[in-house]
């Protein structure tokens, strides 16, 4: 069965300026899935659906929607007020089925269906209020230095939009109740050291032109855009894993896009050692002994 057979309305234009279609999006995910799969395997997904492309109406959906193929893996998670049946990633069939439902990006949990309370990565989302990636790049290097000082190996990637994501692969053990406070402490310390450049202020109007250091991607149920995920932005950029030597103010994240992905991804994989670099979280004893709160 070809992609044309799997995808309904394959000729529907999803990016008007570039004339990229729904089939172009499916072709991309089909081609890169071997690289994407390790970051989605057994991982809970939240869906961002854009049935009419990047400029159409889009909406977020946590629960597995109707219209998915029979047998699509799901996993039920109990939240405070309700149970949610999430789609579980890791299968190319599932990924292409989500594309068929209008899902452009892939939003993944930090934990997996097998151990939903225990994240196996930590992430910092660096959002430049100025809209300039150069500011996010400078902030990312500061985050790297801070993580180096506490003995943590980190991996950067473009967010696919204007920001930078910094990932830290973790050994299983700590819960979200450990990881989120640790990430918040790092962000608050950096913001205090560089108050003119960095902020942890959640209110956009209070950030000025500073880079927002977002640690809340490490909360239970929160998601982050997966590596290689396409974004709902002009030029159809995707979230590109980088080596730290690539993180420069001159980098343009939109240079990684549906128009050139074959050439871009033919090069070395800067995250080749990501899952071989799992490391313990350096948390205080009183933090690690705390019981996971009821959700």
Percent of the chain with pLDDT over 70: 96
Cβ-proximal residues to 267 (8 Å cutoff; 6+ apart), any chain = none
Tens-place pLDDT, residues 53-77: 999 999 999 999 998 999 999 999 9
pLDDT higher than 70, residue 291: no
Closest CA to 61 of 115, 126, 105, 23: 105
Place of tokens 């998601």: 223
CA distance 87 to 66: 11
Please report which confidence band the pLDDT of residue 284 belongs to, taking 50, 70 and 90 as the band edges. low
Task: Report pLDDT for 5.
Answer: 85
Greater model confidence, 289 or 122: 122
pLDDT of 147-206, one tens digit each?
999 999 999 999 999 999 999 999 999 999 999 999 999 999 999 999 999 999 999 999
The DSSP output letter for 234 is T
Q: Classify residue 257 by its DSSP letter.
A: B
At residue 288, the pLDDT reads 41
How many other CB atoms are there within 10 angstroms of residue 221's CB atom?
18
Q: How confident is the model at residue 80 (pLDDT cuts 50, 70, 90)?
A: confident
Whether the Cβ atoms of residue 167 and residue 154 lie closer than 8 Å to each other: yes
State how far the Cα of 232 lies from the Cα of 15, in Å rounded to an integer.
9
Tens-digit pLDDT profile for residues 10-48: 999 999 999 999 999 999 999 999 999 999 999 999 999
User: How confident is the model at residue 1, as a pLDDT?
Assistant: 73
Q: How confident is the model at residue 4 (pLDDT cuts 50, 70, 90)?
A: confident
pLDDT higher than threshold 70 for residue 292: no
pLDDT at 295: 42
Indicate the SS3 state at residue 277: coil
* Run of H or E residues at 169: strand 164-169
Cross-strand partners of 203: none
Give me the count of residues in the chain: 295
pLDDT value of residue 286: 46
Cβ-based neighbours of 101, under 8 Å, separated by 6 or more: 47, 49, 51, 65, 67, 68
**Predicted pLDDT at 193:** 97
Mean pLDDT for all residues in the chain: 94
CA distance 172 to 278: 8
pTM, 2 dp: 0.94
pLDDT in tens, 81-113: 899 999 999 999 999 999 999 999 999 999 999
pLDDT digits (tens, 9 = 90+) for 261-282: 999 999 999 999 999 999 999 9
Could you give the maximum distance between any two Cα atoms of the chain, in Å? Answer: 57
Tokens of 110: 């930090």
Q: 3-state class of 279 per DSSP? A: strand
């Amino acid at each position: 069965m070809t992609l044309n057979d799997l995808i309904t309305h394959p000729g529907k234009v999803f990016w008007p300026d570039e004339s990229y279609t729904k089939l172009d999006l499916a072709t991309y995910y089909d081609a890169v899935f071997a690289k994407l799969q390790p970051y989605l395997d057994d991982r809970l997904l939240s869906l961002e659906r854009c049935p009419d492309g990047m400029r159409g109406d889009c909406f977020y959906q946590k629960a597995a929607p109707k219209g998915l193929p029979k047998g699509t893996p799901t996993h039920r998670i109990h939240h405070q007020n309700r149970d949610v049946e999430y789609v579980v990633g890791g299968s190319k069939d599932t990924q292409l089925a989500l594309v068929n439902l209008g899902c452009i990006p892939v939003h993944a949990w930090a934990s997996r269906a097998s151990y939903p309370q225990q994240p196996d990565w930590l992430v910092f989302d660096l959002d430049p209020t100025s809209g300039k990636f150069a500011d996010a790049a400078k902030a990312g290097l500061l985050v790297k230095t801070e993580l180096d000082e506490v003995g943590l190996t980190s991996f950067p990637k473009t967010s696919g939009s204007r920001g930078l994501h910094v990932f830290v692969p973790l050994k299983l053990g700590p819960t979200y109740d450990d990881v989120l406070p640790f990430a918040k402490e790092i962000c608050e310390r950096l913001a205090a050291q560089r108050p003119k450049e960095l902020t942890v202020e959640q209110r956009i109007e209070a950030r000025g032109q500073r880079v927002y250091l977002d640690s809340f991607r490490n909360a239970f149920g929160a998601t982050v855009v997966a590596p290689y995920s396409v974004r709902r932005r002009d030029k159809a950029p995707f979230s590109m894993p980088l080596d730290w030597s690539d993180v420069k103010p001159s980098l343009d994240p939109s240079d990684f896009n549906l128009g050139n992905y074959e050439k871009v991804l033919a090069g070395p994989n800067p995250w080749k050692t990501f899952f071989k670099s799992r490391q313990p979280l350096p948390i205080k004893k009183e933090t690690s002994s705390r019981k996971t709160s009821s959700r």
